[in-house]
Structure formats: structure tokens, C-alpha cells
Amino acid sequence: MTTILHVDLDAFYAAVEQLDDPELRGRPVIVGGAARRGVVSSCSYEARKFGIRSAMPMWEAMRRCPSAVVMPVRMDRYAELSHAFFTILGDFSPEVEGLSLDEAFLDVTASERLLGDGPTIARTIKQRVRDELGLVASVGVAPIKFAAKIASDIDKPDGLRVVLPDQVIAFLHPLPMTRLWGVGEATREILASMGLSTIGDVARYPVNALVNRLGAATGHHLAALARGEDHRTVVAESETVSVGHQETFDDDVDDRGELAVLLLAQADRVAHRLRESNLRARAVVLIIKYDDFRQITRRSTLDSASSDGGVIARTAIELLAKVTIEPCKGARVRLCGLSATNLEPRDAPRQLGFDEATREKGERLGDTMDKLAAKFGKATIRRAVHLVDPDDD
Ligand SMILES: [Mg+2]
């Protein structure tokens, strides 16, 4: 039997701010853009008591809690602690799959004989995160990813929930069906209209009827999850820290041009965050999720590390050219994103390439754009990019 841990740091960005400034401890802290159109990136549990949540517009958060302290995002500091966090996780298993800076799956099946059973490893990880990083982790232990992920969330903050193999069904079934992966607003409405409100309701419903209403892919996917069947394994990535951006569409997209334009905008945003954090990336990953939930990633290593939006965009668009996109079920795109990985500090020593002058120009252009944007607002600054056919570049 497999033992999977899902480890998730509590209110990560806000917790780091409270760690670094003791004055902020015990107070409502919001991390995010302070500008009029800024949003909440993270908030402390003290702030959550006022109903503040991630992704909420900042003006709304301030309306709910005018006394909250707003801190800017310090991605370089979070990346540093994230690195230390993943170093700890790596001591418990080589099978670590990072989902974001502060969240990962671990397959500890092979470690149990040496390090103790799943719950013991979970407790040890929590203790080390507390002692060595000064942060709090919540952990879920379960035989499948789906249950482990929910288990880490359910007793937050400072949670530890263990779901033994023979408890998976009893754990999942009373939960609301919105906890099932892949249930967005549209699917939720359909399930609700069928009178299904819990995961157990979905599990007991005839699969044929689910398929009739939701289509084959979604119907079978939800039926399997609801019965505690999740065959996805923990996929270790060589590097886990990345800066990325992705968007889910209201309507599925099958137009490459539309996706390329989106990637350009995403690349500029990612490049901006890299420069803000004084980082460069050595690899670019394109993420595509199709309308049948199939997700693929394509990756390309750059000739030299970069924080140039143009380079990142070009690389992502080249990757996009090699991906199947068709106007038919299963080949339309529901989500598109890119992430910059293999990060290194911008002042890291590095080999000079023959295109050094061009590359530096690209990064300086980025710096200039950042300064102008800071001064005049983002809307005034638009990079003039020529969309070239990747095949004749
Ligand atoms: Mg977290």
C-alpha cells in the first residue's frame, strides 16, 4: 500500500512576514499589491477572521479590516524559505512533487521502514519546519493523492490528518462534492441539479447517468474519485521552485494565435516577477490542460538564464507549436500557463554567450519597462512584439 503525504505551509507569505517582523505577530497581515487594483496574495489567520481570502481585491479586504497591515510581496525571501522547505522534504523521500513554493506531495512508502510510518514522518516534518524555518506546516497522510490533499486542508492551521487505507471512503463521502477535483462552477451546478451534494452522493449515483449528464471524461473521472480511486503517482521534479502564471478560460480555446497572445502577456508578467525577485530562469515550462482534464507540460532549457519577457515568450510559443490543438472534444484548451524554472539569482556568475549583448539589452529593456510601469502604471507600457511563426524563426 502506498503512503502519500501532502505538506502545505500555512498562510505562507503572511507567515514569513510575521516571522521576519515580530511586531506583526498576532495581527491581521495581508500580503499583496497595495495599488487600487491590487489583490490579496496571502493573509494571516488573524486577517481570515474578517473574511479576507487570497485573490480578494485589496479594497474589499481593507473594507473588511481597515486595521490590517499590508505588506508587499517579497518573492526572493519566499523563494529562499521555499528552498529550505524543500530541502527538509527531500530528507524524507526522493519522491517529492512540488505544487507551488509552499506545497508538495511526498511518496514515503519506501521510507517507512527506515523513518517510521506515515504519521510519524508527518509529525517529524512538522517539527523540523517549525524548528528550522519558524513556520507552520499542515500535513495530510493518505494512500491516494486526492485524499492526502484534502486531509492537509481539513484541520488547518497546524493540521495533521491521517486517513488510513480502510478509512478513505468514510473520510471522503460526507464531504461536499465541490471538493472533487475538476468540479468547477458549471459542473457543480449540474451535480446540484441532479440532487447530489456530497462526494458520497456522487459515488452512489449510477456512472452511466453521470456520463450522460457530464460527458465521458468528466463522468468517469468524478465517479472514480468519489469511490476513492486515484491512480496518479507522485512525480518528482528535479527542481520545484518556479515562477509561473496560468489562466483558466470560461470557454475552451482552439486558436493558437489567441493562446500565443496570452502567452506573451503571461511571459511579461513572469519576467517582471523574476526581475522583482532578482532571479533568472534557465528553463521554461508550458502547461496546457485540455477540455477533458488531460494536462500536459512541455519544457525547454534556455541557452542562458534569462529574465527577459521576450525570450520567455518566444520559448513558450515554440513549445506551443509542437502541441496538438484542434477544434474538437479533448483537443480544445481549457487552461494555458507558463512557468519559469531552474531559477538562479540574477547576480550569479554565468558563462558569457555570443548573444550576451542582445540578452543584456532584453533584460535592460525589461528593467526600463518595470520602472516606467512603476511610475506611470502598467497600462501605458506595452512591449512591441512581433509574433513570428516559430517555424521560420
Ligand atoms: Mg499553503
- CATH number assigned to the domain comprising residue 61: 3.40.1170.60
Residue 233 lies in a domain: no
CA distance 290 to 286: 13
Query: Could you tell me if residue 2 is inside a domain?
Result: no
Give the model's pLDDT for residue 20.
Answer: 97
Domain CATH code at residue 181: 1.10.150.20
Classify residue 59: in a domain, yes or no: yes
Higher pLDDT, 377 or 332: 332
Active-site annotation holder among 17, 103, 239, 356: 103
Distance 12 CA to ligand 1 centre (A): 5
Mean pLDDT of 289-299: 86
Q: What gap in Å lies between CA 378 and CA 373, rounded to an integer?
A: 5
Residues 84, 132 contacting (CB under 8 angstroms): yes
C-alpha cell at 140: 495530510
Residue 231 counted as domain residue: no
Helix (H/G/I), strand (E/B), else coil: 3: coil
Give the residue-averaged pLDDT of 53-57. Answer: 89
Same domain, 35 and 81: no
Residues 203 and 283 in one domain: no
Contact 104, 83 (CB under 8 A): no
- Is 200 part of any domain? yes
- pLDDT tens, residue by residue, 196-254: 999 999 999 999 999 999 998 899 999 999 999 998 888 775 444 577 777 778 788 88
Helices (H) and strands (E) in the chain, counts: 15, 12
Pair 247, 331 in one domain? yes
Q: Does the residue 256 lie in any domain? A: yes
User: 188: Cβ–Cβ under 8 A, 6 or more apart, which residues?
Assistant: 177, 178
pLDDT at 35: 66
The pLDDT of residue 382 is 43
Do 290 and 387 lie in one domain? The reply is: yes
Ligand 1 centroid distance, CA of 104 (Å): 10
Q: Which of 224, 241, 308, 316 is nearest to 271 (CA)?
A: 308
Please say if the pLDDT value at position 380 is more than 70: no
**Domain match, 370 and 261 both:** yes
% pLDDT > 70, the chain: 87
- The answer to whether 11 and 131 are in contact (CB under 8 A) is no
Give the CATH number, domain containing residue 142: 3.30.70.270
Asked if residue 338 and residue 254 are part of one domain, the reply reads yes
Domain boundary, last residue among 33, 57, 74: 74
- Which tens digit of pLDDT belongs to each residue from 122-131? 999 999 999 9
Considering the domain architecture, whether residues 28 and 135 belong to the same structural domain is answered as no
Per residue in 117-167, pLDDT tens?
Answer: 999 999 999 999 999 999 999 999 999 999 999 999 999 999 999 999 999
Nearest of 237, 242, 238 to residue 343 by alpha carbon? 242
pTM of the model: 0.64
CATH, residue 287? 3.30.1490.100
134 plus 195 within the same structural domain: no
Confidence at residue 89, expressed as pLDDT on a 0 to 100 scale: 95
Q: How far is the CA of 364 from the centre of ligand 1 (A)?
A: 34
Residues 206 and 271 in one domain: no
Q: Is residue 367 part of a domain?
A: yes
The answer to whether 103 is a known catalytic residue is: yes
Residue 393: burial class (beta carbons within 10 Å; 0-12, 13-18, 19+): exposed
Confirm whether 6 is domain-assigned: no
In the reported structure, the alpha carbon of residue 312 is separated from the centroid of ligand 1 by a whole-number distance in angstroms of 27
Residues 359 and 253 reside in one and the same domain: yes
- Tally of structural domains, the chain: 4
Do 46 and 142 belong together in one domain? no
Domain that holds residue 80: 76-169
User: 388 with 246, same domain?
Assistant: yes
